[in-house]
Every structure is written in structure tokens, then in C-alpha cells.
């Protein structure tokens, strides 16, 4: 098969697709990854063949320019995606208006720079399967334009599919801003709009079933998450087992790349943990390290360390609630404390807590004392380790990317016109 992955130029969204891309490649299929030209180096650093299409545009451009959108992004899921977490109070009118906003602020700016070039390439290369992530509707447009089967590959909970199901259930008028926008490209490229352009002919999930959200009415395919964070080296200090309980503190890259810094107060957290008989390994951006007035004796500060190498040595992990970090920790059966602040983070923190594999504290309430109290519970109460190990076992029961390839081959044969 020829398989084309399509992604916006955002590392945290692209990196979760790399293990599946390599599984298809090592199974003998041709694999290429299309994105904006500026993202070419990130793709090729993953050992994959890049297809630069369209022109460059900043994924976060509109959010950075609009303080209201920035604050909304800090608060968790915006509408229409928020309805996946709490449908109470949603109406057809409010959902329609929310979709109008997401077309304006997300779909158009993210996809318009890609669509023409992507369609041209797809019609020339003739892929059998196009795999696209939820923000890149250009992938479904190109699939319809060239006759390929197509799938959504999720990097987190399927708040997108769940929100769409709620919208179709609540829809009071024929107005459908997202469907109308996609149908416009159908008229241009010679196809009719169908609902699979929004949610894929099938959807590939990477989060374990107890965590996150699944749209029950869709064709859902499960795959085990495989941690990949880009090029990395394991430092020598990480070779030997820790001499005392090790706790990792990692707060993600979006906080420093997009927002003004970490939502949690790193100094307050380090100070609160300073007298505990533990080793704290804090992966803190260099710019944020310079803001610290002191570093406790039990803390090691590093700007980066491969998380999949660090987590197995830890007794607990404190993090920002991102799907990739949460999944990496869960994959190793380690209890975790989430301090969510952005998009799906609060939702994942809640489901993590409900499952019993960890705890969550909203970032604005994540004082040093609150983090200390929660961490001591994770270290002292064995039920958290037990539930974390059960979650790990559930993840290991899912097919690996390599094991999923034959199923994808069957689905392509079923769905390709």
C-alpha cells in the first residue's frame, strides 16, 4: 500500500503518529508524511519521508494574537469540544455557533495553506490510505479528491467525534458550518460531502479505554500507545537505579512555546518537596530554570530527558496532563499527579482520578503544599500503584502498531472505492 500521513506543523500532534508510520514502513508499505514546508526537518528527523505542501502558517497564530482565545485555551476544552465532557446546557444553536467559530479560528487557518498542494500531490501519488489527525481536515478532503481510504489518528481523547455526535443529535436547523465548509471543497474537487469527512471512515485510538472519551457511534480501532518524543539520548546518570524514590516533574512544551510560562509555580513545588527523602528530576525549560531563586538539594534540573527512559525509574510522576505524557507514564504502571491547564488536560486528569491510577489538581490550585500532599498519597497508598499497574496491563493487551497493520490492510480493502 501507499500510505500518506497528514499533520499540522505541531510536534506534540505529529510525534504520536510516528510509531504507526514506522510499523507500516517496516511491513513493506510506502509511507510519506505531508505537512507545511517548515515542518520538513521534524518529519525527516523521525526517519520518515516528508512531502512539503502548501505554504507555512503558524498553528497558534490566532491564539497568540487574541488574549481572549489564549485564556480560553488555558481553561480546558472550548466549545464545541467541551460538550464531550459535559453536555448539560448545550443546544443546537450553541453548538452551531461553536462550530462556526472553530471553522473560522481552527479549520480555515490550519488547513487552507495545505489543501491545494495536498490534493495535487495525492492525485499524483495515488495513496491507498490517508491517515489524518483531527485538526487536519485537509486529509479527508484529499482522500475524497483522489479516491483513497482515510482514517483519523487520535493523539488524545476523541472529544472531536463525541462533540460531533452531540451536534448531530441536537441540530435544530440545517445549518452545519463544518459540513458546509467541507462541502465547498467537494464542489471544487468533484465529490459530495459525507460525514466521514469529519470523523474518518474509521478512527484509530491510542489512549486506553478507561481514560478519555470515545465516540460510540463510530468505527473505532484500538492501538497500544508507543512513546516517541523525537531524537534523544539517555544520560549516564539515568543508567543506574535511583538510590531513593525518584519523582519526575515535567510540565510540557506548550506552556513555554505558546503561553507565558508554566501554569504551576515550579519554585513553590520544589520548595514544598525539599525536605522529603526523594530525588526530584525536573525537566524544566532553560528559560524557566533561570526564573528559579534556588534549587533544593534533592532536585536535579535538566532541560530535557527522554520521558520513556525516565518514567520506568520513577515511583511517581508529576506532569501537566498532556495525553502523550499521561500515556507514557501509564504505559509503565507508575502513579501520576496531573496539574492540567490546557485543552483536554482537565478531562484526562478527571478520568485518571476516576480510574484510581493517579490524582489531578487544577493548575491554578496546584500550590506547593497541595502537590506535596497529593504526592505523599501516591507514594504511601498502595492502591494507586495497583490501579496504575492494572491500567498498564490494559494498555499491553491492545495491539501494537505492528500488530495493527494487517487490520489496516483489511480496512483499506473494505473502504477504498
d(CA 330, CA 318): 12
CB–CB of 46/18 below 8 Å? yes
The answer on pLDDT for 194 being more than 80 is: yes
Strand partners, 132: 6, 152
Q: What pLDDT, in 10s, does the model give residues 296-311?
A: 999 999 999 999 999 9
Start-end ranges of CATH 3.40.50.2000 in the chain?
Answer: 2-224+398-415, 236-396
Residue with cell 526530584: 280
> Could you give the CA distance from residue 12 to residue 413 in angstroms, rounded to a whole number?
31
Measured distance CA(5)–CA(34) in Å, rounded: 6
> Is cis: bond before 251, omega within 30 of 0?
no
Evaluate the CA torsion angle 212, 165, 415, 142 in order and state its sign.
negative
Report the pLDDT value the prediction gives residue 63, as an integer from 0 to 100: 55
Q: What is the pLDDT of residue 366?
A: 87
What is the share, in percent, of the chain residues with pLDDT greater than 70?
94
Measured distance CA(272)–CA(368) in Å, rounded: 5
Average pLDDT, integer, range 234-251:
95
At the top level of CATH, the class of 2-224+398-415 is alpha beta
CATH topology of domain 236-396: Rossmann fold (3.40.50)
Q: Edge-to-edge strand order for the sheet containing 246-250?
A: 299-302, 279-283, 246-250, 316-319, 336-338, 358-360
DSSP 3-state of 165: helix
Q: Please compute Rg for the chain using Cα positions.
A: 21
pLDDT at residue number 253: 61
Whether 327 has a pLDDT exceeding 50, the answer reads yes
State the pLDDT at residue 140. 98
* 211 pLDDT tier (thresholds 50, 70, 90): confident
**62 band by pLDDT with thresholds 50, 70 and 90:** low
Q: What is the DSSP letter of 313?
A: G
217 neighbors 169 (Cβ within 8 angstroms): no
Angle in degrees, 0-180, between the axes of helices 368-380 and 266-273, rounded to the nearest 10? 50
Spatial neighbors of 10 by CB under 8 A, at least 6 apart, are 59
Give per-residue pLDDT as tens, 117-155. Answer: 999 999 999 999 999 999 999 999 999 999 999 999 999
Q: Position of cell 471544487?
A: 188
pLDDT at 287: 84
d(CA 110, CA 120): 18
Across the range 195-204, mean pLDDT stands at 97
Does the predicted TM-score (pTM) go above 0.95? no
Mean pLDDT along residues 334-355? 91
What band does 256 get if pLDDT is binned at 50, 70 and 90? very low
pLDDT bucket at 390, cuts 50 / 70 / 90: very high
Q: Is the peptide bond before 138 cis (omega within 30 degrees of 0)?
A: no
Higher pLDDT: 362 or 201? It is 201
Quote the longest CA-to-CA distance of the chain: 67
Helix (H, G, I), strand (E, B) or coil at 203: strand
Q: Which three cell numbers stand for residue 180?
A: 458546509
Amino acid at each position: 500500500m501507499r500510505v500518506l500521513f497528514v499533520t499540522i506543523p505541531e510536534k506534540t500532534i505529529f510525534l504520536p503518529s510516528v510509531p504507526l508510520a514506522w510499523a507500516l514502513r517496516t511491513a513493506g508499505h510506502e509511507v510519506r508524511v505531508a505537512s507545511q514546508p517548515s515542518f520538513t526537518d521534524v518529519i525527516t528527523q523521525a526517519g520518515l519521508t516528508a512531502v512539503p505542501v502548501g505554504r507555512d502558517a503558524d498553528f497558534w497564530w490566532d491564539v497568540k494574537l487574541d488574549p481572549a482565545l489564549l485564556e480560553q485555551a488555558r481553561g480546558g476544552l472550548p466549545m464545541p469540544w467541551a460538550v464531550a465532557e459535559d453536555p448539560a446546557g448545550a443546544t443546537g444553536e450553541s453548538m452551531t455557533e461553536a462550530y462556526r467559530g472553530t471553522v473560522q479560528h481552527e479549520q480555515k487557518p490550519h488547513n487552507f495553506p495545505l489543501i491545494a498542494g495536498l490534493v495535487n500531490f495525492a492525485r499524483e501519488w495515488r495513496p491507498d490510505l490517508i491517515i489524518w489527525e483531527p485538526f487536519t481536515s485537509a486529509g479527508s478532503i484529499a482522500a475524497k479528491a483522489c479516491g483513497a481510504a482515510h482514517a483519523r489518528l487520535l493523539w488524545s481523547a476523541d472529544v472531536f467525534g463525541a462533540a460531533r455526535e452531540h451536534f448531530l443529535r441536537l441540530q435544530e436547523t440545517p445549518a452545519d458550518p463544518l459540513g458546509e465548509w467541507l462541502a465547498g471543497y467537494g464542489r471544487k474537487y468533484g465529490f459530495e460531502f459525507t460525514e466521514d469527512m469529519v470523523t474518518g471512515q474509521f478512527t484509530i485510538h491510542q489512549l486506553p479505554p478507561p481514560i478519555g472519551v470515545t465516540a460510540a457511534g463510530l468505527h473505532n480501532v484500538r492501538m497500544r500507545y508507543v512513546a516517541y518524543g523525537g531524537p534523544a539520548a539517555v544520560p549516564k546518570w539515568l543508567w543506574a537505579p535511583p538510590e531513593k524514590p525518584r519523582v519526575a516533574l515535567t510540565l510540557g512544551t506548550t506552556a513555554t512555546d505558546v503561553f507565558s510560562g508554566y501554569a504551576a509555580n515550579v519554585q513553590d513545588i520544589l520548595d514544598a518537596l525539599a525536605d522529603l527523602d526523594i530525588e526530584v528530576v525536573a525537566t524544566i525549560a532553560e528559560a524557566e530554570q533561570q526564573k528559579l531563586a534556588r534549587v533544593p538539594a534533592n532536585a536535579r534540573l535538566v532541560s530535557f530527558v527522554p520521558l520513556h527512559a525516565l518514567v520506568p525509574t520513577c515511583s511517581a510522576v508529576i506532569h501537566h496532563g498532556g495525553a502523550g505524557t499521561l500515556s507514557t507514564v501509564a504505559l509503565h504502571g507508575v502513579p501520576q499527579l496531573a496539574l492540567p491547564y490546557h485543552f483536554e488536560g482537565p478531562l484526562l486528569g478527571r478520568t485518571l482520578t476516576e480510574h484510581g491510577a493517579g490524582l489531578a489538581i487544577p493548575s491554578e490550585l496546584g500550590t506547593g503544599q497541595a502537590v506535596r500532599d497529593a504526592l505523599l498519597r501516591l507514594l504511601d497508598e498502595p492502591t494507586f500503584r495497583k490501579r496504575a499497574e492494572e491500567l498498564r496491563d490494559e494498555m499491553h493487551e491492545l495491539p501494537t502498531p505492528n500488530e495493527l497493520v494487517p487490520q489496516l490492510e483489511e480496512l483499506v480493502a473494505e473502504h477504498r472505492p
